[in-house]
Structure 1
Amino acid sequence: MGVSTSPPEKGPEKDGITVVTVDFPPVNALPVDGWFALADAVRAAGRDPRVRCVVLAAKGRGFNAGVDIKELQARGPGALVGANRGCFEAFSAVYECEVPVVAAVRGFCLGGGIGLVGNADVVVASEDAVFGLPELDRGALGAATHLSRLVPQHLMRALYYTSRTVTAAELHTHGSVWRVVPGEELTDAALELAREIAAKDGELLRLAKAAINGIDPVDVRRSYRFEQGFTFEASVSGVADRVRDRFGKEEA
C-alpha cells in the first residue's frame, strides 16, 4: 500500500520511462501523507536524468477517489490544511515534472484525481473510466481549475454544479483523452505512448515541457490556490461538516 516507483533495473526505465503507481485500498482515496508521497515520487522521477517520460498509474478499484474524507472527519481542521497542501503539492508535481507525464486512468477518477489528470501532459483511459468532481456532495470545493483543462467552460460548470461524471469516450471527443482502450490494454497503451515520447532527445524534451508550461493561458498553481481558499472557508463556516455528515448518512 502506498506510492511505488518501478526500479530502473527492473522497470521500463531502460526505455527512459518511470511508472509511478498509487495503491491506497480500497478506492485510492489518499490520506494526507499519500498526497505528499505521490508528489515526492513524481518530482524524483522528473529529476532523474535517465527518465524521459513518467507514467502515472494506480492499482485497485479505480484511479483516484480524491482525499480521504474519513481522515478529515477524524482529525479535524489540521487534516484539511494537510490535505489542501498535499493536493497542491501533488498536482504541482505532475504539472511541473521536468518530463512529460502520461496518466493511465481506469475506473473512477474523482476529486483529487481530476487535479492529477488535468495537470498531466497526456491522458490514456480505459473504456470504463469516468471523470468528475463530486465536491459539492462532499462538502468541499476545488479542482475546477483542472476540470477546465479537460472540458469546455460551460460543460465544466454543469459537471461541477451537478456532481455528474463524464466518460472517457466523451473526453476523447473533446480531445483531452488521447486514447480509450479496453481495461486489459490500458497499461500497454500508456507505455506505448510513453515509449514514443521517450524516444526523443531527453534534454530537448525537458526544454519542450518547460516551454509549453510557460505559454499556458492559466497559471494553474495560482488558480487552484485561489479555489482552496473557498474550500477552507466552507470548512470554518461549518458548511463542509454539514454536507459531509449528510453524505455519511446517505452512504451508511
Structure 2
Amino acid sequence: MDDDPVLVSRSGGVAHVVLNRPAARNALNLAMCHRLSEAFARLDADGDVRAVLLRANGPAFCAGADLKERRGRDEPWVRSRRLASFRAYESIERCAKPVVALVHGPVVGSGGEIAMSCDFVVAAGDATFRFPEPHWGTVGATQRLQRVIGKRRAKELLFTARTMAVEEAVAVGLVARTVPAGELLAAGERLAETIAGAPALAMSLTKQAVDLGSQTDLTSGIGIEMAAIERCLADGGWRGGVDAFASGGGPGGGPDGRTGPENGAGR
C-alpha cells in the first residue's frame, strides 16, 4: 500500500482518499490519474459512503503535474496523459457524494484542479496556491479556475504564476475556510461526520441541484430544485427531518433556529 499513489479507506460513512506520493510532493502522474478515477468510481457506487475527504500525505498537497514522466515521451503520449488527468478531475466532480478537499502546503497547477473538482476546500493556514502552466510551456486550469474566482483573477494568476496566500484564496472564493495546520484533519473529519449524518438522498439531490442549477438561469434552476423536492417527498425520509427539527435534535437545530456545538457553531 505504501507504493500506491492513492490510498482509500473508510470510517463509518466517511471515506478518505489520500494522495500518496510524498517523496514527489504528490506530483500528479499517470498512475495517480488512473487511481483517482478508479477510486471515485467505486466510492460513487458504494451506498455506504456518505461523504468523502480528499487529502494528501507529506509536506505538500500537490506540486502539480509530474513533468519528469514526460521526458522522452512523444506528443501522443502527452496528449493521452492530459486526457487521463481530465478524466480524474471529472470522476471527482461527478461523484454524487459530497467531496471535501483538505489542502495544506503548496497547491500547484494540477493540485488546484483536484481541489477545485471537490465540492469545497478547507485549507490549513500554510496552504498556498499557484497556477504556472503557461510558464511551463503548456495550458491548464483555464476552465475551472475562472469559474471559481472569475475570468480576470484567473488570467492574472495564470499569466504571472505568482503564489497566492491562503487568506487571498478565501477572499476570492477558492477556499471555504481555513484552520490551523495541526487541526486540518480533525476539522475535516468533523465536517464530514456532519455531512454524513444528513439524509443521504437529500444531500445527494442538494449537490445535484446546485451543480445543475449553476449551468442555467434562475427559473430553470427552480424547476431543478422542485424536481429534487418531489423526489424527497416520494422517498418519505423528509418526515424524520421534520421530527428532528421540531424536537430540537439533529444538525438543523430546533424550532428557535439555534444550532449546537456539534454543528461547528462558533468555530
Question: More displaced, 46-55 or 203-212?
Answer: 203-212
Aligned match of 1:155: 153
Q: Does 1:58 align with 2:91?
A: no
Structure 2 CA distance, aligned partners of 1:160 and 1:176? 15
Aligned match of 2:17: 20
Structure 2 CA distance, aligned partners of 1:79 and 1:65? 21
Q: What one-letter code is carried by the residue in structure 1 that aligns with 2:19?
A: V
SS at match of 1:150: helix
Provide, for residues 24-58 of structure 1, a one-character-per-residue CA deviation record: whole Å limited to 9, x for no partner.
12211121121111121122112210111111011
Residue 80 of structure 2, aligned match among 67, 82, 89:
82
Question: More displaced, 170-179 or 16-25?
Answer: 170-179
Contact 1:118 1:149 in 2 (8 A): no
Structure 2 CA distance, aligned partners of 1:217 and 1:30? 29
Higher relative contact order (CA 8 A, sep 6+): 1
**Per-residue deviation, 1:122:** 1.2
Structure 2 CA distance, aligned partners of 1:154 and 1:198? 36
Structure 2 CA distance, aligned partners of 1:69 and 1:79? 13
Q: Does 1:4 align with 2:7?
A: yes
Which entry has the higher C-alpha Rg, 1 or 2?
A: 2
Structure 1 segment 37-56 matched on structure 2, within 5 A: 37-56=35-54
Specify every segment of 5 or more residues in structure 1 that has no aligned partner in the other structure, as ranges. 219-252
Aligned match of 2:90: 92
Specify every segment of 5 or more residues in structure 2 that has no aligned partner in the other structure, as ranges. 217-267
SS at match of 1:103: strand
Structure 2 CA distance, aligned partners of 1:36 and 1:123? 22
**Per-residue deviation, 1:106:** 0.3
**Per-residue deviation, 1:84:** 1.0
Q: What one-letter code is carried by the residue in structure 2 that aligns with 1:132?
A: R
Aligned match of 1:216: 214
Aligned match of 2:122: 124
TM-score norm. by structure 2 comes to 0.75
Structure 2 CA distance, aligned partners of 1:176 and 1:201? 27
Provide, for residues 120-160 of structure 1, a one-character-per-residue CA deviation record: whole Å limited to 9, x for no partner.
11100011111121101211101121212432321111111
Contact 1:31 1:68 in 2 (8 A): yes
Contact 1:150 1:171 in 2 (8 A): no
Structure 1 segment 24-39 matched on structure 2, within 5 A: 24=21, 25-39=23-37
Structure 2 CA distance, aligned partners of 1:171 and 1:68? 24
SS at match of 2:61: coil
CA RMSD of aligned residues (A): 1.6
